[in-house]
Structure 1
Amino acid sequence: MLTAEQAAATVRSILAEQRPDGAIPWFTGGHLDPWDHVEAAMALDVAGEHTAAEAAYRWLMRSQNPDGSWFAAYTEGEPSDRSRESNFCAYVAVGAWHHHLSTGDDSFLEEIWPTVIRAVTFVLGLGRADGTVSWRREEGGGAPDEALLTGCSSVHHALRCALAIAEYLEEPQPDWELAAGQLGHAVACHPERFLDKDRYSMDWYYPVLGTALRGEAARERLDRDWNRFVVPGLGVRCVADRPWVTGGESAELALALWAVGESTRAVEILKSIQHLRHESGGYWTGYVFEDDAVWPEERTTWTAGALLLAVAALGGDEATVSVFGGDELPTGLTADCCATVREA
């Protein structure tokens, strides 16, 4: 898929965008969101750039709001969207655990642990009665009584990583165990609890990527909508009814495929998006194939990050395998009725 030299150039494309304070925006002059910031930081860790990754996590530690959240977007270091999205805030747990598995640095894990606790506390404060999590808290403090399947799948993954940290540090979190189990059950078994975003490819593969689905149930889900979203030779559509393939979604699908033993298809998906590669090593966000046009004309750090994580998983990187494979992550308190569906 990539030579060592090509992979190194992709890593450099992320490092070139990282600000001196550790922040990793989408691109120079673009905004930062906490989720994509973590995705890029994890890619730095798989490349051995641990100092740069730690700087990214220290930016999160310094920037966390008193309630445990982060704003949805920052531009040039200042908040540009003051809403706070649950999956954005939860993802620090995934990054923190991945960083620890990459480095073995106990002292840093202990240092970032209070940040993780505050973030999870904020996220669970958005919990709904049906076990799902509202997708955001608005600037004024209100929260819509709505849950998103993609967001909740990501939160479920983050809760499992947070529980792994808690277990490692011998800091039991029974409320988190219950929340992880309830949320995983909702994602795996109750699509009616979420807003209908079926046209987006993320809602298709994220229950797998977020580790709520495994085994035959996961493979059946991926097979069911394969032809709706996958454009042979080009990648994965962001939205089913638009002629637009995107690198980030394609790389995430490859990671989900790998997680359920579909490595051959994962490699083919990653090969198919090499037309998005720029000579700098970065990747264009997307391509409108009916117009033969790159769009938008930006090379995003999170696209490069997602690709590097998928390549790392396929290559057997231990930290990435553990975090995204999910077999070694605590499951929380799972519902008996979903035991055969989850196959965790």
Structure 2
Amino acid sequence: MISHAEVVRTAESIAAMQQEDGGVPWPEGHVDAWNHIECLMAMSVAGLEEPVRRGYAYLARHQRADGSWPMKLVDGVPTELGGESNHAAYIAVGLWHHHLVTGDQGFTEAHWPMVKAALDYVAGLQTERGEIVWERDAQGRDATYALLTGCSSIHQGLRCGVRLADHLGDPQPHWELAADRLAHVLAAHPEAFADKSRFSMDWYYPVLGGAVRGRQALELLEREWATFVVPGLGIRCVSDQPWVTGAETCELVLALDALGDRERAARLFADMQHLRHEDGSYWTGWQFANRKHFPYERSGYTAAAVVLAADALLEASPGAGLFRDIAGTAVFDPDVCGCSAPVLPPQVH
């Protein structure tokens, strides 16, 4: 386990990447809302409030009238105009996490309209069956398919949005219904999503996002454990490549922690520390057949995942239980999805 001082140093490596306008970019230079928010969450854990405030101001400036953000921005200029549903939903996770960590009621109230607009955008992309399509393009056309990883993250966003709404006395019951329906599809209808099963994220994200918990979650993780986990190194990004990645490994750590499996979570977290750089940042991945860092970069989103996983294991901040505590009950509606029997509702551990 890394120390609190090392966690802070890692968060400071993210702050060093932040641009003057407040955006936290990928190594190649573009900003997307999801990874940007994840980086703000990590800096919140470390108490780096000034860069966090600049980061949320960046989001407020670039949110569009429909509640979405451009898929990619470079130097504050949109370069890909579609609006991804999971990018929009993650603002609720970020703001709820910020509130848990800081207790700053004024900040939460000031940014609540941003969350409302974003989650209403997301709810508007839900299909009759319950999945949420992955984007609305620049011409206003909804995508024809949904992504399992994206919808799992959206489920967490909707749950966090409901908690924010209740806390602020502005209930949004349509978000809760959307989350319930989405949870059922995630738990029971893999056919609703494009096949991305070679990616490890599609394996563990239904657990990480809170849609699948309890016995069903443990069985889900066990099915592909040997496919993705490389003992001593972390987990593969994709099943057919000898390549482990730090962000995915730390997200699996968070999923295991959410299930109460802290022993395996801590072991995996220790395994990926070979990616740590002396300045506290983290290499994105390691190609273990060629024994080279791949890609040859240190990414903010990897550092952010490390900080959030460390915080969960150390229980250092008031936001440490964020991924542990977000779960809900799936709605079973045979008239909508055609199920013959309901799945067991998630169990909170």
Moved beyond 4 Å, runs of 4+: 336-339
Q: For residue 23 of structure 1, what is the amino acid of its counterpart?
A: G
The equivalent of 1:63 in structure 2 is 62
1:12 aligns with 2:12: yes
Q: Contact (CA 8 Å) 1:98, 1:323: kept in 2 or not?
A: yes
Q: Take 2:201 and 2:87, find their aligned partners in 1: how far apart are those partners?
A: 15
Q: Contact (CA 8 Å) 1:69, 1:119: kept in 2 or not?
A: yes
Q: Take 2:103 and 2:343, find their aligned partners in 1: how far apart are those partners?
A: 33
1:342 aligns with 2:341: no
Q: Take 1:94 and 1:5, find their aligned partners in 2: how far apart are those partners?
A: 25
Partner SS, residue 320 of structure 2: helix
The equivalent of 2:53 in structure 1 is 54
Q: Contact (CA 8 Å) 1:176, 1:332: kept in 2 or not?
A: no
Report the CA distance between 1:274 and its aligned residue.
1.2
Q: For residue 162 of structure 1, what is the amino acid of its counterpart?
A: G
TM-score by length of 1: 0.95
The equivalent of 1:293 in structure 2 is 292
Q: Take 2:308 and 2:248, find their aligned partners in 1: how far apart are those partners?
A: 13
Q: Contact (CA 8 Å) 2:188, 2:343: kept in 1 or not?
A: no
Structure 2: gaps (5+ residues): 334-340
Matches within 5 A, 1:188-227: 188-227=187-226
The equivalent of 2:242 in structure 1 is 243
The equivalent of 2:39 in structure 1 is 40
Report the CA distance between 1:318 and its aligned residue.
4.8
Matches within 5 A, 1:56-95: 56-95=55-94
Q: Take 1:323 and 1:215, find their aligned partners in 2: how far apart are those partners?
A: 17
1:127 aligns with 2:131: no
Q: Take 1:114 and 1:241, find their aligned partners in 2: how far apart are those partners?
A: 43
Q: Return closer, same or farther for 1:224/1:333 CA change in 2, 3 Å cut-off.
A: closer
1:90-133 CA distance string (max 9 Å, x none): 10000000001111111111111110011011111211111010
Q: Take 2:83 and 2:143, find their aligned partners in 1: how far apart are those partners?
A: 12
1:176-203 CA distance string (max 9 Å, x none): 1211110011111111111111111000
Report the CA distance between 1:302 and its aligned residue.
0.7
Q: Return closer, same or farther for 1:245/1:259 CA change in 2, 3 Å cut-off.
A: same
Q: Take 1:318 and 1:191, find their aligned partners in 2: how far apart are those partners?
A: 35
Q: Contact (CA 8 Å) 1:127, 1:134: kept in 2 or not?
A: yes
Q: Take 2:203 and 2:330, find their aligned partners in 1: how far apart are those partners?
A: 25
Q: Return closer, same or farther for 1:225/1:332 CA change in 2, 3 Å cut-off.
A: closer
Q: Take 2:210 and 2:89, find their aligned partners in 1: how far apart are those partners?
A: 15
The equivalent of 2:257 in structure 1 is 258
The equivalent of 2:116 in structure 1 is 117
The equivalent of 1:102 in structure 2 is 101
Structure 1: gaps (5+ residues): none
Q: Contact (CA 8 Å) 1:188, 1:342: kept in 2 or not?
A: no
Q: Take 2:259 and 2:5, find their aligned partners in 1: how far apart are those partners?
A: 29
Q: Take 1:86 and 1:2, find their aligned partners in 2: how far apart are those partners?
A: 34
Q: For residue 137 of structure 2, what is the amino acid of its counterpart?
A: E
Higher mean C-alpha displacement, 30-39 vs 45-54: 45-54
Q: Contact (CA 8 Å) 1:179, 1:332: kept in 2 or not?
A: no
Q: Take 2:329 and 2:179, find their aligned partners in 1: how far apart are those partners?
A: 5
Matches within 5 A, 1:281-320: 281-320=280-319
Q: Take 1:111 and 1:341, find their aligned partners in 2: how far apart are those partners?
A: 35
1:287-341 CA distance string (max 9 Å, x none): 11111111111111010000100110111145433421125x6x37744865624
Tell me the number of residue pairs that the alignment of Structure 1 and Structure 2 aligns: 341
Q: Contact (CA 8 Å) 2:308, 2:320: kept in 1 or not?
A: no
- How many percent of aligned residue pairs carry the same amino acid? 47
Q: Take 1:184 and 1:340, find their aligned partners in 2: how far apart are those partners?
A: 11
The equivalent of 1:324 in structure 2 is 323
1:132-169 CA distance string (max 9 Å, x none): 10001122221222011100000000000000000001
Partner SS, residue 141 of structure 2: coil
Q: For residue 270 of structure 1, what is the amino acid of its counterpart?
A: F
Q: Take 1:318 and 1:25, find their aligned partners in 2: how far apart are those partners?
A: 25
Q: For residue 204 of structure 1, what is the amino acid of its counterpart?
A: W
